[in-house]
Structure 1
Amino acid sequence: MGPRTVRLAATAAILGLGVIGAQSATGATQDEPTSTPVPISTPDGQVSSYVINTKTANPGQVRKAEQAVTATGGVVVQSWPQIGVVVAHSTMADFRTAVAAKANNAIESVGPTRSVAVSEGTPDGVQAPWGPGKGQLRPATKKRDISEGTAATTTDPREGDQWDMQMINVPQAHTITTGSPDVTVGVLDSGIDPDHPDLVNQIDRAKSVGCTDAGRPVTGQDAWAPTTSDHGTHVAGTIGAERNGVGIVGIAPGAKMASVKVVNDDGFIYPEYAVCGFMEAGLKGMDVTNNSYYVDPFEFWCGDQPEQAPALEAVRRAVEWSTAQGTVHAAAAGNSAYDLSDKTTNASSPNDAEVPTDRVINSSCKDIPTELDGVVTVSSIDRAGKLSSFSNRGLGSIDVAAPGSSILSTIVRDNGYGTKSGTSMASPHVAGVLALMKSAHPTWSPDRMISELRAQATDTPCSTTTRGAECVGTPQENSYYGDGIVDAYAAVR
């Protein structure tokens, strides 16, 4: 079965605070309730961040949008003319309405990217009339790593402890290929430890980039190395830890990885960071990306809400464009034990606000990037092969399952090793398998790779779990495993 089709707000026409043609744009069905509005305050004097989507990816329309930003007293932080997206900062409370009015009908939608001020400030080199200040940051709920772990340092080889690799037939796959150095996996995360003995030779430094400077790409190790989190380092070990007689072995140790830092020091992944990450993956020819996160501050971005739809659309465009360049994407399904195929309520968003909103949601509300077209959605299973208690699920929403409970991998502390649990740990197993698949079949397109990955996954009947709704579907496709448990050997043989 081919990848599912998810309708998003691709054709939304949203200006100011009004929605034009909402029924065709939201993706919600007629019998669903409208999602709860979540007003975002952007008071005068606060440096706020926005994405602007032009009606077409046309250089002329992008220039009109940039000129409109300047005319309203804002600043252009970053433009992506390939997809018709502009990232801008402003201290005007009514920036959205003002910039749309000045753009000569070039703008499709404008929306904020966070519910708080820009904590990192406007990047160096961007001449902002308010100076390089940090804005007026309201207290935010600091977002922790998607998955927590227990550290355990060792210098002894630990390959025998990697039950997850045995489960998905990685040793058998390695008899055919360990990955090609011509294949690069972009790890969109909190950075990869550049000094870890299992990773030091695995990083493509020329392709690595930091995206947390307000969404502007920055090169150099200081921009992409980890600072406050070892989440990306753990993910990277699963994908490509070197076979060197030290520690563990990754799924594709013969391939390369690029550190694409999209997580800021407070643990947030804002839309402009994700857009930058996907665009850089496409521009730099990365073959695969791993995305063990959801885009903040909304766990679900609602296409029927004019303050949320523009950021959803900007990320969608970036994913679509990078896919067209040949990049295939794997993403974590999420750790809320939620049924993605039956959305009703959500109480975690916006997670950078003092108090999140308890809200009604519907099918227009998407966990991004995992629910976007062209992205492999990965649920988590435990050592017994059952759905992990924390894992999201959903018939027609999950593509494949992979090990995600108590996964041993690399960590930053003492250049050691530790276990973490989460769909964050399941997704890199799929990214690693996709890297092996691309190595074995270098001419395959992203669509072909996803189709083959799903077809070759091990059909798995419904199991029981200690939390969440009953599994529904058949052994060939169900709400827990999607099309089955990923199989590295089948993907390359």
Structure 2
Amino acid sequence: MMRTPRLAVTTAGAVAALAAALATGPLGAGGANASPRPDDAALPVSTPVPIATPDGVVSSYLLNARQANPGQTRLVERAVAAVGGTVVQAWPEIGVVVAHASTADFRARVTETAGRSLASVGATRTVPVETPDADEAAAAARRTQQRDVVPDPREGEQWDLQMIKADQAHTITDGSPRVVVGVLDSGIDPDHPDLASQIDVRDSVNCTDAGRPDLSPTGWYPTTSDHGTHVAGTIAAARNGVGIVGVAPGVRLASVKVVDDGGFIYPEYAVCGFMWAGLRGMEVTNNSYYVDPFQFYCEDQPDQAAAKEAVRRAVAWSIGRGVVSAAAAGNSAYDLANKTTDTTSPDDSTPVERVLNADCQDIPTELDGVVTVASLERFPADTLENRLSGFSNRGLGVIDVAAPGSRILSTVVADNGYGLKSGTSMASPHVAGVLALLASTHPTWSPARLVAALRAQADDHPCGTATQGAACVGTAAENSYYGDGVVDALDAVR
């Protein structure tokens, strides 16, 4: 995740998927393995974190129409304008509007004006919107035969590919160039020799311009972070006789920039990223982050609930469009199945200690349909044996699968070189790569079928030695540390 501790479907099918998601209301925890929530009456009240929106400063909001259709979305847009707000971006496909306003009572006034057309409205950050300088913003076939593979120079150092059997999968296929993986992150270095040939420029976008798609030629480039470049290399660094190779070097990458220059991923950025992936027909997205400014978004807090609902709708809509997503579980050594307190949020101003309940979720990783990925380290060292990384979040019924995430060698911006990084941020792209291999091998499979296969093919891993945080619970077939097990790239292609 970005900062410690977090660092062929028809349109009708997409609409039906979203309608079903909206009908069920807020989704439970568990990523792709969602489980029912307890009765709300049994939940403690989470600690309120009021978000001040004073007069005279610009605040950002997400508004959710009661029904996800263009008509109600337009009514919400008109209400925003009527009370002096500005519509930044509208997503009529999911009934979500991004708005800016500089009046303290915007939420109350727009709620009254919109009436029954508005389901919820919430501020998306605890600090004012910073308007970026204009110049800065502008700058800002499957092969089924066994084959010989010539390794890239540093491939021998990539123990992580051996651990998930990607090196063996490459003797069958590197993946299909028709598969596009959206890297929702801080941008991808366009000049790196292992990445330049892999980037689909037409599908790349910058979502940090207040949550609207910025198609400027360099908007999706990295500016202050090489995090996205490192993630991209793990997924699909080219097999070209240079440096390293990715899990799925035959697929393409789209740079979907959702991390601003301050290192934040606000809800409107994530909404834009998932919507863009669905609109552009991407097969897979990787999400090595949690949505700021809250490590956990609580259903009983109006601002947090509205922001979470907008992201949930965007994820559900993208799934309906055929997109399958992997996400990092987080780096707090936290038991996501038994949340108690949080002392890190909001992270864009002054954190407060707050009580959590079971409806407080880390998004997007705990949203329904998203594959939640825990991190592994080599143990003992210099072997292909493994255990849960000490920093990795865990949770029975929440973690779906595990993948290597400690000291991973991949591409970095500096000198177009290579470096080691650790985190569930590094584990998730291994899973995105395996999903890309699955999508290459089974081009007609739905996201749900791809996730089911990923989990069924994962190699069972017993609890083994505890690291830190909550003790491991469950069986070898599914437990709180490894979920359904360690992802298997070879099974994905045969």
- Using structure 1 for the length normalisation, give the TM-score: 0.88
Q: Does structure 1 retain, via aligned residues, the 8 Å contact 2:185–2:259?
A: yes
Q: Partners in 2 of 1:452 and 1:465 — Cα distance?
A: 28
Paired residues for 1:453-472 under 5 Å: 453-472=454-473
Q: Which residue of 2 aligns with 1:363?
A: 358
Q: Partners in 2 of 1:250 and 1:265 — Cα distance?
A: 27
2:274 to 278, 286, 293: 278
Q: Cα distance, 1:175 vs. partner?
A: 1.6
Matched position secondary structure for 1:221: coil
Q: Partners in 2 of 1:8 and 1:167 — Cα distance?
A: 39
Q: Which residue of 1 aligns with 2:382?
A: none
**In the alignment, does 2:256 pair up with 1:260?**
yes
Give the length in aligned residue pairs.
443
Q: Partners in 1 of 2:367 and 2:242 — Cα distance?
A: 38
Matched position secondary structure for 1:203: coil
Q: Does structure 2 retain, via aligned residues, the 8 Å contact 1:8–1:27?
A: no
The more displaced of 31-40 and 320-329 is: 31-40
Q: Which residue of 2 aligns with 1:153?
A: none
**In the alignment, does 2:56 pair up with 1:32?**
no
Change (3 A) 1:395 1:117: same
Q: Cα distance, 1:62 vs. partner?
A: 0.8
Q: Which residue of 2 aligns with 1:450?
A: 451
Q: Does structure 2 retain, via aligned residues, the 8 Å contact 1:230–1:411?
A: yes
- Percent identity between matched residues is 69
Q: Which residue of 2 aligns with 1:312?
A: 308
Q: Partners in 1 of 2:164 and 2:450 — Cα distance?
A: 17
Matched position secondary structure for 2:54: coil
Q: Which residue of 2 aligns with 1:52?
A: 63
Q: Which residue of 2 aligns with 1:11?
A: 25
The more displaced of 28-37 and 83-92 is: 28-37
Q: Cα distance, 1:119 vs. partner?
A: 1.4
Query: 1:352-411 CA deviation, whole Å, 9 max, x = no partner?
Result: 01x201000011101000000010000000012100000000000000000000000000
Change (3 A) 1:27 1:203: farther
Q: Partners in 2 of 1:123 and 1:43 — Cα distance?
A: 25
- Using structure 2 for the length normalisation, give the TM-score: 0.88
Q: Which residue of 2 aligns with 1:373?
A: 368
Matched position secondary structure for 2:387: coil
Query: 1:462-482 CA deviation, whole Å, 9 max, x = no partner?
Result: 022331111000000000000
2:125 to 96, 99, 114: 114
**In the alignment, does 2:413 pair up with 1:412?**
yes
Q: Partners in 2 of 1:121 and 1:162 — Cα distance?
A: 39
Matched position secondary structure for 1:326: coil
Q: Partners in 2 of 1:260 and 1:386 — Cα distance?
A: 32
Q: Which residue of 1 aligns with 2:476?
A: 475
1:192 to 171, 182, 188: 188
Matched position secondary structure for 1:307: helix
The one-letter code matched in structure 2 to 1:104 is G
Q: Partners in 2 of 1:28 and 1:307 — Cα distance?
A: 22
Q: Does structure 1 retain, via aligned residues, the 8 Å contact 2:22–2:313?
A: no
Q: Which residue of 1 aligns with 2:86?
A: 75
Q: Partners in 1 of 2:446 and 2:373 — Cα distance?
A: 20
Q: Cα distance, 1:283 vs. partner?
A: 0.1
Instruction: Report the aligned-residue RMSD.
Output: 1.7
Paired residues for 1:292-441 under 5 Å: 292-353=288-349, 355-384=350-379, 385-441=386-442
Q: Which residue of 2 aligns with 1:491?
A: 492
Q: Partners in 1 of 2:25 and 2:106 — Cα distance?
A: 22
Matched position secondary structure for 1:206: helix
Paired residues for 1:97-176 under 5 Å: 97-120=108-131, 157-176=153-172
The one-letter code matched in structure 2 to 1:459 is D
Task: Give the structure with the larger helix fraction.
Answer: 2
Change (3 A) 1:486 1:412: same
Q: Partners in 2 of 1:360 and 1:8 — Cα distance?
A: 27
Q: Cα distance, 1:100 vs. partner?
A: 1.0
